Amino acid sequence: MAGYGYEVDFLPVGSGDKSGDAIALRYGEPGSYKVMVIDGGTKESGQKLVEHIKMHYETTHVDYLVNTHPDADHASGLEVVIEQLTVGEVWIHRPWEYAEEIRHWFKDGRITDESLANRLKDLLAHAYRLEELADEKDIPVYEPYAGAKIGDFYVLSPDQDWYLELVPQFNKTPEARSVNMAEAVTSFGAKALEKIASWIDEHWHIETLSEDGETSCENESSVILYGNLGGRGILLTGDAGIQALEKACDYAENLGVDLVTSRFIQVPHHGSRNNVSPSILNRFVGSKVGQGTTLTKGSISE
């Protein structure tokens, strides 16, 4: 394909211990690029996304807008994008549409489909607002479940059945246990440096991650996207945890996609140590090699 190219831009979200995702990407041939936005971070980073797309992509149109999961550090910036740019398709989970299917998970017998739907709209207000804005602007809204195709990307996780099991557990798992990379980098204490050192070690021969890291069910519900852009694999993971990543690997295998050959892999949850495990990293980047091993061309995919 003559002139085919792609670009993935991660914009900074917040400062200090605040983080999130605001990702713009485009791919295709010059003059007919497709533009995608995956999460918008905060309102502030949402505004930066708008400026970035106007200035660097020289367009005011986003073909595909995806919200990986309803947390504010991912969803709220997307409001700004929908308000200020034209959008072709909005991709977002709408759990409030499934009150009837998930009501049996709740013990409270008085709960009705309507009250459950309203509770979910309140709890996930940032995500619900995206649907409202899309409706106001007549933008079609689709749900990103495994098997869906968004432009040149496949959704690998969550599948709809698992998603509907996760929803009743939203807002239950505290985030307190997660220690993320952004936090470590910005606090500069001795402990922080230790954290960074152990993270970096992970890339070589010392195993420092555990197999039982946990994250919230909201994070596990994150949309995991895989695209093959001009022969190069790109994997975007939102805040997915170990369970979601396992499911995504299984789904990729069924599609015949070898994730190890991916050129670009987003470390989930802004670099949190609790969202990956040694075995999941092996499935993403290949097994460990001994210290001193020379990687020759062919052992890493080019």
SS3 content of the chain, % helix, strand, coil (to 5): 40, 20, 40
Q: Which amino acid type is present at position 191?
A: K
Question: Shortest distance, CB of residue 180 to Zn ion, whole angstroms?
Answer: 8
Count of residues making up the chain = 302
Number of residues that bind Zn ion (CB under 5 A): 2
Q: Name the residue nearer to Zn ion (CB basis): 65 or 181.
A: 181
Question: Shortest distance, CB of residue 176 to Zn ion, whole angstroms?
Answer: 14
The Cα–Cα gap between 215 and 118 comes to 25
The Cα–Cα gap between 249 and 257 comes to 9
Site for Zn ion in 112-141 (CB under 5 A): none
Question: Shortest distance, CB of residue 168 to Zn ion, whole angstroms?
Answer: 21
Q: Decide: is 218 part of the binding site for Zn ion (CB under 5 A).
A: no
Q: Name the residue nearer to Zn ion (CB basis): 45 or 47.
A: 45
CA atoms within a 13 Å half-sphere pointing along the CA-CB vector of 51:
7
Q: Which stretch binds Zn ion (CB under 5 A): 68-76, 240-248, 273-281, 288-296?
A: 68-76
Structure tokens at 291: 């210290």
Note whether 75 and 130 are within 8 A (CB): yes
Separate counts of helices (H) and strands (E) for the chain? 12, 11
Site for Zn ion in 222-261 (CB under 5 A): 239
Q: Name the residue nearer to Zn ion (CB basis): 39 or 152.
A: 39
Instruction: Map residues 76-115 to x or -, x wherever contact with Zn ion holds by CB under 5 A.
Output: ----------------------------------------
The Cα–Cα gap between 105 and 187 comes to 41
Q: Which of 39, 44, 73, 183 touches Zn ion by CB under 5 A?
A: 73
Question: Shortest distance, CB of residue 19 to Zn ion, whole angstroms?
Answer: 7
Q: Which stretch binds Zn ion (CB under 5 A): 55-63, 67-75, 92-100, 284-292?
A: 67-75
DSSP letters, 85-132, are: SEEEEEE---GGGGHHHHGGG---TT--HHHHHHHHHHHTHHHHHHHH
Q: Which amino acid type is present at position 189?
A: G
Q: Which amino acid type is present at position 49?
A: L
Q: Which stretch binds Zn ion (CB under 5 A): 66-74, 100-108, 224-232, 242-250?
A: 66-74
Structure tokens at 282: 């092996």
Question: Shortest distance, CB of residue 135 to Zn ion, whole angstroms?
Answer: 25
Judged by the rule CB under 5 A, the positions of this chain that interact with Zn ion are 73, 239
